[in-house]
Amino acid sequence: MKPHSMEKSGLYLFSLFGFEVRLDWSWFFLAILVAWSLSVSYFPFNYPDLDTSTYWTMGIIGAIGLFLSIIFHELCHSLVGRHYGLPIAGIKLFIFGGVAEMREMPPSPKAEFMMAIAGPAFSIVIGILLYILFRAGTLANWPDEANGIIRYLGLINIIVGIFNLLPAFPLDGGRVLRSFLWWWKDDLRWATQVAARAGAGFGFGMILFGLLLVIQGAFISGLWMFLLGFFLQYLSKTSYQELLIRELFGNESIRKYVKTDPVAVNANITLQALVDDYFYKYYHKLYPVMEDEKLVGSISFNDIKQTQKEKWPSLRVREIMQTCPSENVIDADTKVIRVLQLMSAQNNGRLIVTKAGKLYGIITLKDLMSVIFIRMNLEIGEGERS
């Protein structure tokens, strides 16, 4: 048996002021790219008399410094969010930076503004302080190796702070814009729609600028700008859609959307029987596991896939199943919004639902998306859906 607790996506690093810091695997690409560009381009251009190993050491330290800067940038968001009573799931770093993972919307325009401005304010202030330190180090003839890293971290923090202040939702500046619009008209949906359209516009502009850079020969910079623009466009649209979904469902639970009387498997059957009689018959990727009419766990397509085929005839389901509580099991009173968040974080479109500790049914992302599509088209005007 494999015991599981409710897990969050990404590699857990550490906890900071009670916030879990996690790393998405895509971040390693960013780390390698930053270290490489610093080592072969930035530092050799600014400090031409050092050796290759020194450049690489400086590049790696610079990448680590950027990594820590982003963490503290997001920590500022998280601490302010906590002050205003917002539940923060944690801090996550990924290929395009970092994010403080909010589970709910800010309660007021003031809370939105204060939380949004905290990160860029930290980045700009720490950047200025580091640049002052660099100037002091220059006057004191500090080694180029140390002074070069300090200068880079000062500049990159200022750049990160200013970039995040662009009024392009869901960047911090876009959230600042939304907070003003929300305060002005007292209409969160309208404010989000306007800010999201601004974000999509900025994203489109970045895509065009990226293509122009590629045409001019700056392939890496152009490609990076293109990807950032594409990602910003995507996030601006999905962030607005998320707000609409929150308004549609509010505090509604998943109870009425659950498929009751689901197909379940006995804990004592062999994996071969499971494959032949369930996976090849119903084609579900996840099944509840029962024993003596009690829910004891779950078994998924991935559990089978990770087990050697030669062992299927002898191994029992109970030997490889995930025991309850599991990341695949939720309560019937869980909010729809929370279920969507869990499915997204775990990349899991099928969850087992319990009621009073007993098997109640199955909820799937496909079913929820159908409900969302129907309700959004019937309850929200066409002009307000994008």
Is 247 among the residues known to form the active site? no
Q: How many other C-beta atoms can be found within 10 angstroms of the C-beta atom of residue 84?
A: 14
* 85/65 Cα distance (integer angstroms): 30
Strand pairing category for 350-355 and 19-23: unpaired
Binding residue per annotation — 172?
yes
Per the CB < 8 A criterion, the answer to whether 308 and 279 are in contact is no
Looking at this protein, which amino acid is placed at residue 152?
Y
The catalytically annotated residue of 7, 20, 74, 242 is 74
* 76/17 Cα distance (integer angstroms): 11
Binding residue per annotation — 73?
yes
Question: What's the chain's Rg over C-alpha atoms?
Answer: 25
Per the CB < 8 A criterion, the answer to whether 336 and 231 are in contact is no
* 373/367 Cα distance (integer angstroms): 10
Per the CB < 8 A criterion, the answer to whether 262 and 362 are in contact is yes
Kindly state the DSSP code that residue 384 receives in the 8-state scheme. G
DSSP string, 170-239: TSHHHHHHHHHHHHHHS-HHHHHHHHHHHHHHHHHHHHHHHHHHHHTT-HHHHHHHHHHHHHHHHHHHHH
Q: At 141, give phi and psi (nearest 5°).
A: 60, 45
Per this entry, what is the length of the chain? 386
Tell me the catalytic residues.
Answer: 74
Annotated binding site for Zn(2+): 73, 77, 172
